[in-house]
Chain A
Amino acid sequence: MQSALSISFSQTSLPLANRPLCSSNAAPSTTPRNLRFCGLRREAFGFSPSKQLTSCRFQIQSRRIEVSAAASSSAGNGAPSKSFDYDLIIIGAGVGGHGAALHAVEKGLKTAIIEGDVVGGTCVNRGCVPSKALLAVSGRMRELQNEHHMKAFGLQVSAAGYDRQGVADHASNLATKIRNNLTNSMKALGVDILTGFGAVLGPQKVKYGDNIITGKDIIIATGSVPFVPKGIEVDGKTVITSDHALKLESVPDWIAIVGSGYIGLEFSDVYTALGSEVTFIEALDQLMPGFDPEISKLAQRVLINPRKIDYHTGVFASKITPAKDGKPVMIELIDAKTKEPKDTLEVDAALIATGRAPFTNGLGLENINVVTQRGFIPVDERMRVIDGNGKLVPHLYCIGDANGKMMLAHAASAQGISVVEQVTGRDHVLNHHSIPAACFTHPEISMVGLTEPQAKEKAEKEGFKVSIAKTSFKANTKALAENEGEGLAKMIYRPDNGEILGVHIFGLHAADLIHEASNAIALGTRIQDIKLAVHAHPTLSEVVDELFKAAKVDSPASVTAQSVKVAV
């Protein structure tokens, strides 16, 4: 449910700083080249002279396209290979495919992207993007409704209300805008957007609609759809998935949310802010099972207990029937372990947020002898597809939700970029531990790397020590100025060498704060080095700064960091 897709850039206001030096004499291009989905992008721009050159050449080309025609000319999209229609064919124009396509063009590959539905995929149309619009509304509603909070600021606000259609329109408008931005960014670079359902016909051969094309390399990026367990009948009105919920066609008085992961939590935030009461149904014994236990405990105290939410844990919703003939939505609960019937709930609506299932049917995988595992396409650490015999399928990659490694929009994009790096001759393995995740409740939850139990398990196996550093938002000036002192940041690290194993933040703007930690993990920066970096005061980032400073590391700061310090 989260992504780095918060890029509401305007096409005319490109910051000059983002442009390669050599193009500074050119008229401002309207090409939105500063679209970034992950930190790897920075590497792609490169610092070595040779890469700088590539970048320059490309920039000029792309400008020429702007002048000659708005849309797809092959000039900017690399030169076609001799024996293939394209260098790279991407099946699926979600965030993963989009990230890969942009990076491929930059690397000079002639690229096509096949989309059977709408550009943008789940994230833009039915996921992160519209949900952020709803959460922006819920955050404001919460603030306005919190008289105590307002009073503490000396503000007086009369009763806050909302117009459901207006809220729904905000979400759909945002999705449309981001979708257009995405489409335009690819068109402007000359990526061929081919419409139709893509399927693999054989090695390096893809079919879309009635057309067959060949590509040197193929990336499958078909994503996922909401997973609905059996026994649950989705009617789209009273029993819904996130696809329907994001349209906000109704705000029920009482909604049961099946699953208390990211999706469920975010929707509980939206619904309770808009006046619904929520009942969580969680199969595991604890709410928010995916989070670090300490964080989920605190989150429960802040996000669940004081709100109009109750919950049933350790139960499955074995049968859910939509409301009809004057009867409410019926939910039968069974014990998750014994399978014995436990309870029946009658509610106004049920949201199924039990996770997502890969969308890999009809991809023609049988043509290349690939057997999916619960629908997921098996891949190795380089996203190379593995066939039924355990062998790599040459020139075929799978990224994003369809491979199930890490079902996050920005992970898909990072995987796509990693694949492009490989096919253009630079070996690259993505470090999934450095990919942050966030849940946009109020306040937000974010994390990167291992949870405390995971780290301890790993430490035991590999024989190193683990330490924990914690800081509270209560001590942060900026958080207190906002009257939002509730929150915790926690870092799990190795005291012997200062390696960061995981960081978990719960508090105001946690999703924005995690990147300092995730970048440190991605770049291998050690605590003893990063703790010398300076943070502006007063900012929320000092919470993370405190975390680094609170850590007790045995090794001294490395020489490079000190020399950097001198240089600065």
Chain B
Amino acid sequence: MSRLLQTPFLPSVSLPTKTRSSVPGFRVKPRIIPIQAKIREIFMPALSSTMTEGKIVSWVKSEGDKLNKGESVVVVESDKADMDVETFYDGYLAAIMVEEGGVAPVGSAIALLAETEDEIADAKAKASGGGGVSQAPTSSPPTAAIEAPVAVEKKIAAAPVSVKAVAASAVHPASEGGKRIVASPYAKKLAKELKVELAGLVGSGPMGRIVAKDVEAVAAGGGVQAAVAVKEVVAAPGVELGSVVPFTTMQGAVSRNMVESLTVPTFRVGYTITTDALDALYKKIKSKGVTMTALLAKATALALAKHPVVNSSCRDGNSFVYNSSINVAVAVAIDGGLITPVLQNADKVDIYSLSRKWKELVDKARAKQLQPQEYNTGTFTLSNLGMFGVDRFDAILPPGTGAIMAVGASQPSVVATKDGRIGMKNQMQVNVTADHRVIYGSDLAQFLQTLASIIEDPKDLTF
């Protein structure tokens, strides 16, 4: 959707001057000047406070029709209701940019309104010239830069060993070798909501069907397109066994960082956290686009706010800095390596914005468009391999930061309670690696205790 918003129509710069530049002679006529600026855009209106995009139910008017101020032009379906949208100006409906059935984000242009009949052609040219993206009814979610099925490279946090795996397309008998996607109704709905591409996803349902939890796992894992049930591990196409391959730039950088990390004396502290409440919260708000990654980042940031030393960094071995902002970096495996997009000020940004930000960062990361400040300003790093079923692991501390937390899968566990009963709880193990020059065992212990209390009673995460 972010790409849709980049259409030149959003900031209502009127283009007729440009389209007319081929005939500059006319522009000097003063009478025409006021008319020139009168190709107006009809925007997708915000019909409710929660509306982010609207669907065009029907165009009441068609191209070329004369419109009077106050007349209905189009019927828009929001998340709540169908509403008639009126024009605020007289004129002619020059060009329809989003056809019936199409979806457009709030604020984007859906049609052009020309003041005079003569300008209809100009407006049409303008619409077809720049409106390419928004013109297509986006009933199918924009594929953006995600190409599927992709060869997914799994990387274990900072460890430079990579396991190459091809996400076998659903082994459902009806999927015809991946050509057809067999997904349950709710999985499809969720995929659309969470903008997850179903193609290439491995289903864990009956006969390889994609079910809701597969989609959730992908969304929670920041979009890593593989599920736990990867059955077939095949060498990625194009790998020549026995050959020597020079490092790519990224691999070189990772390698340097890993060696550098050996100069830092690190130690580890682990903790088991009950996630029932967090899972329940996630279930409740995931429909609003909240991802598990964002929730974990948020919880971590809130805990860091109470323990600034864990958010500090020591570079020279003589002094250390209490970082002024809490920037949580989250490790993401991408094609050809590993990157750590940063959620800046994660303690202050609300969970919904944080989730949107995360989505944007992941998309950018996949498209290799992250700006340096979006991946190297982290003050604390999160690495989550829970979606692969990893229950615990150990992360290497990235140089320049104080600590990194390795997050395992949340799994149902049998636990004994203090009153002598046995119960079932979802628990996950976290393991923090820290720089012992500045962060001591008790610091980490207290930090983890705070984090556990936040996750076990997550009401503050949504404030």
Report whether A308 and B173 are in contact in the complex, using a CB–CB cutoff of 8 Å: no
Report whether A308 and B185 are in contact in the complex, using a CB–CB cutoff of 8 Å: yes
Chain B positions 172 through 203: 1 when the CB is less than 8 Å from some CB of chain A, otherwise 0: 11100000101011101100000000000000
**Measured between alpha carbons, how far is A253 from B82 in the docked complex, in Å?**
32
Chain B residue with the shortest CB-CB distance to A344: B174
**B182 contacts which chain A residues (CB < 8 A)?**
346
Report whether A279 and B185 are in contact in the complex, using a CB–CB cutoff of 8 Å: yes
B31 at the A interface (CB under 8 A) = no
**B211 contacts which chain A residues (CB < 8 A)?**
253
A282 at the B interface (CB under 8 A) = no
Residues from 227 to 280 in A contacting B, C-beta threshold 8 Å:
253-254, 277-279
Choose from A308, A344, A348 the contact partner of B206 (Cβ within 8 Å): A348
B205 at the A interface (CB under 8 A) = yes
Chain A positions 375 through 404: 1 when the CB is less than 8 Å from some CB of chain B, otherwise 0: 000000000000000000000000000000
CB distance from A279 to the nearest CB of B (A): 5
Report whether A254 and B207 are in contact in the complex, using a CB–CB cutoff of 8 Å: no
B29 at the A interface (CB under 8 A) = no
Interface band, chain B? 10 to 19
Report whether B189 and A346 are in contact in the complex, using a CB–CB cutoff of 8 Å: no
Report whether A254 and B174 are in contact in the complex, using a CB–CB cutoff of 8 Å: no
Choose from A147, A297, A308, A328 the contact partner of B82 (Cβ within 8 Å): A297
**Measured between alpha carbons, how far is A348 from B206 in the docked complex, in Å?**
9
CB distance from A299 to the nearest CB of B (A): 13
Chain A positions 286 through 325: 1 when the CB is less than 8 Å from some CB of chain B, otherwise 0: 0000000000010001000000111000000000000000
With A328-B206, A348-B206 in contact, do A254 and B184 touch (Cβ < 8 Å)?
yes
For chains A and B in complex, what number of residue pairs have CB atoms within 8 angstroms? Answer: 38
A177 at the B interface (CB under 8 A) = no
With A147-B284, A346-B207 in contact, do A254 and B172 touch (Cβ < 8 Å)?
no
A327 at the B interface (CB under 8 A) = yes
Report whether A277 and B186 are in contact in the complex, using a CB–CB cutoff of 8 Å: yes
Report whether B185 and A278 are in contact in the complex, using a CB–CB cutoff of 8 Å: yes
**A328 contacts which chain B residues (CB < 8 A)?**
206-207
Choose from A301, A310, A327 the contact partner of B188 (Cβ within 8 Å): A310
**Measured between alpha carbons, how far is A328 from B205 in the docked complex, in Å?**
12
Report whether B185 and A346 are in contact in the complex, using a CB–CB cutoff of 8 Å: no
Main secondary structure of the interface of A (DSSP, over half): strand
With A328-B207, A348-B206 in contact, do A253 and B174 touch (Cβ < 8 Å)?
no
**B185 contacts which chain A residues (CB < 8 A)?**
254, 277-279, 308-310
Chain A residue with the shortest CB-CB distance to B183: A310
**Measured between alpha carbons, how far is A328 from B189 in the docked complex, in Å?**
22
CB distance from A39 to the nearest CB of B (A): 35
Chain B residue with the shortest CB-CB distance to A311: B185
Choose from A147, A148, A253, A310 the contact partner of B189 (Cβ within 8 Å): A310
**Measured between alpha carbons, how far is A344 from B175 in the docked complex, in Å?**
10
Report whether A327 and B173 are in contact in the complex, using a CB–CB cutoff of 8 Å: yes
**Measured between alpha carbons, how far is A148 from B284 in the docked complex, in Å?**
9
Report whether A308 and B189 are in contact in the complex, using a CB–CB cutoff of 8 Å: yes
CB distance from A534 to the nearest CB of B (A): 32
With A308-B189, A310-B189 in contact, do A253 and B172 touch (Cβ < 8 Å)?
no
Most buried by A among B174, B180, B186, B212: B186
Choose from A277, A346, A348 the contact partner of B172 (Cβ within 8 Å): A346
CB distance from A285 to the nearest CB of B (A): 13
**B81 contacts which chain A residues (CB < 8 A)?**
301
Choose from A253, A297, A344 the contact partner of B205 (Cβ within 8 Å): A253
Report whether B188 and A346 are in contact in the complex, using a CB–CB cutoff of 8 Å: no
**Measured between alpha carbons, how far is A124 from B209 in the docked complex, in Å?**
38
**Measured between alpha carbons, how far is A308 from B209 in the docked complex, in Å?**
15
**A301 contacts which chain B residues (CB < 8 A)?**
81
Chain A residue with the shortest CB-CB distance to B81: A301
Most buried by B among A297, A330, A346: A346
**A147 contacts which chain B residues (CB < 8 A)?**
284
Report whether A346 and B174 are in contact in the complex, using a CB–CB cutoff of 8 Å: yes
**A277 contacts which chain B residues (CB < 8 A)?**
184-186
Residues from 130 to 174 in B contacting A, C-beta threshold 8 Å:
172-174
Residues from 35 to 94 in A contacting B, C-beta threshold 8 Å:
none
Chain A positions 498 through 530: 1 when the CB is less than 8 Å from some CB of chain B, otherwise 0: 000000000000000000000000000000000
Chain A residue with the shortest CB-CB distance to B80: A301
**B186 contacts which chain A residues (CB < 8 A)?**
277, 308
Report whether B184 and A346 are in contact in the complex, using a CB–CB cutoff of 8 Å: no
**Measured between alpha carbons, how far is A242 from B82 in the docked complex, in Å?**
34
CB distance from A271 to the nearest CB of B (A): 11
CB distance from A281 to the nearest CB of B (A): 12
**Measured between alpha carbons, how far is A432 from B207 in the docked complex, in Å?**
50
CB distance from A260 to the nearest CB of B (A): 14
**A254 contacts which chain B residues (CB < 8 A)?**
184-185, 209
Residues from 41 to 86 in B contacting A, C-beta threshold 8 Å:
81-82
**B172 contacts which chain A residues (CB < 8 A)?**
346
Chain B residue with the shortest CB-CB distance to A147: B284
**Measured between alpha carbons, how far is A310 from B193 in the docked complex, in Å?**
14
Report whether A253 and B207 are in contact in the complex, using a CB–CB cutoff of 8 Å: no
Residues from 265 to 290 in B contacting A, C-beta threshold 8 Å:
284
**Measured between alpha carbons, how far is A65 from B284 in the docked complex, in Å?**
62
**Measured between alpha carbons, how far is A310 from B183 in the docked complex, in Å?**
11
**Measured between alpha carbons, how far is A346 from B206 in the docked complex, in Å?**
10
**A308 contacts which chain B residues (CB < 8 A)?**
184-186, 189, 212
**Measured between alpha carbons, how far is A310 from B181 in the docked complex, in Å?**
14
**Measured between alpha carbons, how far is A279 from B183 in the docked complex, in Å?**
11
Q: What are 19 A-B residue pairs whose CB atoms fall within 8 Å in the complex?
A: A148-B284, A253-B184, A254-B184, A277-B184, A277-B185, A279-B185, A301-B81, A308-B184, A308-B186, A308-B212, A309-B185, A310-B189, A327-B173, A328-B206, A344-B174, A344-B180, A346-B174, A346-B182, A346-B209
Q: A310-B188, A344-B180 are in contact. List 19 more A-B contacts (CB 8 A).
A: A147-B284, A253-B205, A253-B206, A253-B211, A254-B184, A254-B185, A277-B185, A277-B186, A278-B185, A279-B185, A297-B82, A301-B81, A308-B185, A310-B189, A327-B173, A346-B172, A346-B173, A346-B174, A346-B182
Closest 9 CB pairs of A and B: A308-B186, A310-B185, A277-B185, A346-B174, A277-B184, A277-B186, A254-B184, A279-B185, A308-B185
